[in-house]
Amino acid sequence: MKSRFLLLWSAVSMAIGMAVYDGTPDWIHPYEVGGFLLVSIGLFVSGLYGKVRNTVLWGSVLFLCLMGMGRMYLAEEAWRTASSWAMQSEGQYEAILMEPPLVQKEDRYVRYLVKLEKIRYSDGEETPLTGSAYVYDDEVKKLPDIGERIAVHGKLSPLRLYQNPGKIDLEGRYRSRHLLGRIYLAEGETVHFLGDSGQYCLERWAEHSKGHLEMKFAPYMDRNRLSILMTLLFGGNYNEIPEEVMTSFSTTGIVHILSVSGSHIALLFGFLCLLGKWFSLPKKVVLLGSISLVIGYGLLAGLVPPVVRAAVMGVLSIGGIFLEREKATLNLLGAAVTGMLLWDPFYLYDVSFQLSVGASAGLLIFYGPLLRAMMRLSFLPVWVREGTSLALAAQVLTVPIVLYDFHRFPLFFIPANLFVAPFLDGCIIAGLLAALASLIFLPLAGGILQCADYFLWLGLRLNFFLASLPRAALPLGGMSGVAMAGYYLTVGLLYFQKEIRPSKKRIAMAVGLWGTVMAAALCLYWQRPVLRVYVPDLGPDQGMMLVNGDRNILYYKGGAVASHRSSWEWNSILGYEGIFDADVLIINVEEVKDPLPLTMTIPVKEIWVLGGTLEKKAPQLDVSSATVRTLKHTKLGWGDMVFSTNGSSSLLSIENHEIYLAGQKPLNQIGQSDHVLWLAGHEGFRELTEKEIQRIQPEAVIYTGSRLQQSWENHELFEVLDIPVGNTYTEGMQEAAFDGRWKLVTGD
């Protein structure tokens, strides 16, 4: 541990303490705190009396971990004291709008994020509330301003968090906002606007300023590209950007440029420094002016969490230069991270925070070594070597985060950063100049905007071209915890190799640690059963992924309520588990009323349809490259697999084991095998009997889909019969494996 980076190590230690406290059960917390406290005190005392510097340092690390645990405890207590007791309460809620309403034109609803003030029950009793909630209205009408007080009549319902791995952590974001749930208006009710509350004045001013600026810009730019420019400048407005643009930016790995980040602040600072040199201004004048403009830019962007993080990082970095302490930038990063985690520990789970800190640390740590290595390639232009080193350094520490949340690695992130990003950076500078010019001479702003429009068009074309190339994003799946540990350990050992090499003891410790982690990763990989079944939490829908060697068979059963979220979760978990093609998709649409919004992001060879036709029940599903079969009473043989169905329930038989996919109509020809895995739902609201269960004799049961509360009696019956049963609603995604018999890997 390098003592000159004390603030950086302090931030890391506090983050570890927060993660440990939040990731362990409540009953173990007192033992954790006591253990950390005793060990840190012991190390302090032994270090002071023994004059052992490293002992004191490690004692400090443990003490900082303890501080992180304490701060997370306070944050969780604040979350618990919010008015969760009001859940399922119906009445008239008064609240204050916290951010601009989100209008979803396709789904025909508007969503408000509000700070709850009080509830008035039907008998006239009023009770104050704390916390926030989402309010949903299916009528898009006059939209209120930020800070306006509204009244709605409805019921506060809990948020439905789909419990699947490998995606952005929404729970941390909700806890950060003290978000209790959502309020759907009672039938025949509407939102009542009660006037300005006098709160959130800064946010309202920022939103009005951006809206006024967009109106000034509108005559000089294409409408779609204007939305993209406003997002480039101030973040937000993602729902107004065409989906194909967002997809192409994700594919090439430069989607971060669409949110206000440290790169925006660095770009603004670099441009101001260039102007300062041009006008021969003193360095300190330029730096003080830069800090003032960065703060002003943050205010205009609305001071939402990403903007706050970017502004803090920018001001601290500029401050480091102002104090002529450029070498202390890593400590400044540590100070910024420490301050933000102390302010809100739940930032730890925010993916934009993780990527921002990881990219910033990567640039500061690895840019120099990578640039020195790239200098050996003398045939490349200097700007290519510098740009490549910059792009690689920003990725080093973020690869595991990208793979865990997005499951694909952008292969063309270097060309995108070298050739696309400069056009977008130019648009940002041009947009800011146009904003200033609009205050003085609007036609000048119009000329700048037309140039920016051409730059943006060219940048988008180049990005679309890169994203359309074969294998533009390499599908790798999510990284496990052991794989992440191995990756970061390898990076750390390579970076600190100069400190490790002189000592044989350090070499032995490094090799031993690295070998242990790699051996653990290999053991986990080799011990994976050949036949595995994944059952994700898809809310009202059901899904199953059967992986049998190199064969992938998928099952999807639509619920009565159409859910875009279920489709998104389905494709996300496919990517996380490394399933990037499928031999068969079995889709059951017998319960579907409204068209199922299911799409597939992976190629499928065959689609077998039960309970209806895809044209009516799942029109968004692309069937152009698949063979489609509509099945009723059918029995199919396919290799070592036999598929039987009555058009509702189905049975997959593979050698001597079976998977029963329950529908509304039970399947009679079942019970021929001693090894049955039962994928159950509400069974058409039938109450199962002990005789029926004994006929099938399942070795394990997984409940999934909608209205699982109707199935508790069935669920309990399985438990009485000593049959392992999992439930995606209460326990999240379930996994079963066959190793001589069916076993629940999770939830048993």
* Same domain membership, residue 684 and residue 609: yes
Tell whether 561 is covered by a domain. Answer: yes
More confidently predicted of 65 and 117 = 117
Residue in this structure with the two tokens 């994020």, named with its chain if needed: 113
Residue 98 pLDDT level (bands cut at 50, 70, 90): very high
Mean pLDDT over 541-556 rounds to 90
Q: Residue 196: pLDDT above 70?
A: yes
- Residue-level pLDDT at 476: 81
- Residue-level pLDDT at 48: 54
- Residue-level pLDDT at 536: 94
Residue pair 670/696 in contact by the 8 Å Cβ criterion? yes
| pTM for the structure as a whole | 0.82
Residue pair 338/239 in contact by the 8 Å Cβ criterion? no
Tell whether 390 is covered by a domain. Answer: no
- Residue-level pLDDT at 687: 67
* Same domain membership, residue 447 and residue 328: yes
* Residue length of the chain: 748
Q: Residue 189: pLDDT above 80?
A: yes
Residue ending a domain, choose from 475, 494, 511: 475
Q: Residue 708: pLDDT above 70?
A: no
Sequence-distant (6+) residues with CB within 8 A of 680 are 662, 701, 702, 703, 704, 711, 714
* Same domain membership, residue 578 and residue 508: no
Tell whether 372 is covered by a domain. Answer: no
Residue 696 pLDDT level (bands cut at 50, 70, 90): confident
- Residue-level pLDDT at 681: 76
Q: Residue 113: pLDDT above 70?
A: yes
Report the number of distinct structural domains present in the chain. 5
- Residue-level pLDDT at 43: 59
- Residue-level pLDDT at 747: 45
Residue 748 pLDDT level (bands cut at 50, 70, 90): very low
Provide the token pair at 713. 């009696």
Q: Residue 709: pLDDT above 60?
A: no
Closest by CA to 742, choosing from 726, 719, 727, 730, is 726
Give me the half-sphere count of Cα atoms (radius 13 Å) on the Cβ side of residue 146: 17
Lowest mean pLDDT among 94-103, 360-369, 654-663: 360-369
Tell whether 382 is covered by a domain. Answer: no
- Residue-level pLDDT at 148: 94
Q: Residue 378: pLDDT above 90?
A: no
Mean pLDDT over 20-45 rounds to 70
* Same domain membership, residue 566 and residue 498: no
Provide the token pair at 25. 């059960």
Mean pLDDT over 620-633 rounds to 86
More confidently predicted of 288 and 44 = 288
- Residue-level pLDDT at 37: 67
Q: Cα separation of 348 and 330, whole Å?
A: 19
* Same domain membership, residue 457 and residue 491: no
Kindly report the average pLDDT of the chain as a whole number.
82
> What percent of the chain has a predicted confidence (pLDDT) above 90?
17
Sequence-distant (6+) residues with CB within 8 A of 579 are 545, 547, 552, 554, 602
Tell whether 36 is covered by a domain. Answer: yes
* Same domain membership, residue 563 and residue 608: yes
Tell whether 399 is covered by a domain. Answer: no
Strands, E assignment, 582-724: 582-588, 604-610, 627-631, 633-638, 641-646, 650-654, 657-661, 676-680, 700-703
Strands, E assignment, 469-549: 473-475, 531-535, 542-548
* Same domain membership, residue 666 and residue 536: yes
The CA-based diameter of the chain, rounded to the nearest angstrom, is 90
Residue pair 65/88 in contact by the 8 Å Cβ criterion? no
Residue pair 203/302 in contact by the 8 Å Cβ criterion? yes
* Same domain membership, residue 690 and residue 673: yes
Residue 167 pLDDT level (bands cut at 50, 70, 90): confident
Pairing of strands 604-610, 627-631: parallel
CA distance readout (Å), 273 to 156, 278, 323 = 52, 9, 16
* Same domain membership, residue 62 and residue 16: yes
Tell whether 375 is covered by a domain. Answer: no
Provide the token pair at 302. 């609305």
- Residue-level pLDDT at 220: 92
Mean pLDDT over 162-175 rounds to 85
- Residue-level pLDDT at 176: 84
Q: Residue 104: pLDDT above 50?
A: yes
Q: Cα separation of 156 and 154, whole Å?
A: 7
* Same domain membership, residue 247 and residue 138: no
Mean pLDDT over 15-23 rounds to 87
Residue pair 426/393 in contact by the 8 Å Cβ criterion? no
Q: Cα separation of 549 and 654, whole Å?
A: 12
Residue in this structure with the two tokens 């690689």, named with its chain if needed: 392
More confidently predicted of 103 and 34 = 103
Mean pLDDT over 381-402 rounds to 83
* Same domain membership, residue 214 and residue 195: no
Give the model confidence (pLDDT) of 558-570 as tens digits.
888 888 889 989 9
Give the model confidence (pLDDT) of 413-422 as tens digits.
888 888 888 8
* Same domain membership, residue 134 and residue 16: no
Tell whether 161 is covered by a domain. Answer: yes
Q: Residue 56: pLDDT above 70?
A: no
Q: State the CATH number of the domain containing residue 739.
A: 3.60.15.10
Pairing of strands 604-610, 582-588: parallel
- Residue-level pLDDT at 592: 87
Q: Residue 695: pLDDT above 90?
A: no
Give the model confidence (pLDDT) of 450-468 as tens digits.
999 999 999 999 999 999 9
Closest by CA to 406, choosing from 173, 543, 574, is 574
Residue in this structure with the two tokens 């230690």, named with its chain if needed: 13
Please list the helix, strand and coil fractions of the chain in percent, rounded to the nearest 5, in that order: 55, 20, 30
Q: What are phi and psi of 572, to 5 degrees?
A: -65, -45
User: Which DSSP category does 143 fall into?
Assistant: P
Q: Cα separation of 223 and 241, whole Å?
A: 10
Q: Letter for the amino acid at 6? A: L
Give the model confidence (pLDDT) of 246-292 as tens digits.
888 888 888 777 776 666 666 666 667 667 767 777 777 777 777 77
Mean pLDDT over 43-66 rounds to 67
- Residue-level pLDDT at 262: 62
- Residue-level pLDDT at 587: 94
Residue in this structure with the two tokens 């700007």, named with its chain if needed: 383
Q: State the CATH number of the domain containing residue 176.
A: 2.40.50
Residue ending a domain, choose from 432, 447, 475: 475
Q: Residue 2: pLDDT above 70?
A: no
Residue 605 pLDDT level (bands cut at 50, 70, 90): very high
Residue ending a domain, choose from 177, 199, 221: 199
Pairing of strands 633-638, 627-631: unpaired
Mean pLDDT over 663-681 rounds to 80
Q: Residue 522: pLDDT above 90?
A: no
Q: What is the residue range of 322's domain?
A: 205-351+416-475
Cα four-point dihedral sign 404, 408, 413, 414: positive
Closest by CA to 399, choosing from 434, 371, 359, is 359
Q: Residue 689: pLDDT above 80?
A: no
